[in-house]
Amino acid sequence: MTATLTVSRPEGDEYLEYFGKYIALVKGDDAVEPLRDQLEDTLRIVRPLDEKRALHRYAPEKWSVKEVLGHLSDAERIFAYRALRIARKDQTPIEGFDENTYVPAGRFDARPLEDLIEDMERVRDATLSLFTGLDEEALTRTGTANGNRISVRAIAWCIAGHELHHRAILIERYGLK
Provide the pLDDT for residue 5: 81
pLDDT tens across 49-98, in order?
999 999 999 999 999 999 999 999 999 999 999 999 999 999 999 999 99
CA dihedral of 118, 120, 126, 131, whole degrees rounded to 10: -150
Class for domain 16-172, per CATH? Answer: mainly alpha
pTM over 0.85: yes
pLDDT tens across 96-150, in order?
999 999 999 999 999 999 999 999 999 999 999 999 999 999 999 999 999 999 9
Can you tell me the distance from the alpha carbon of 104 to that of 67, in angstroms, rounded to the nearest whole number? 8
Can you tell me the distance from the alpha carbon of 39 to that of 42, in angstroms, rounded to the nearest whole number? 5
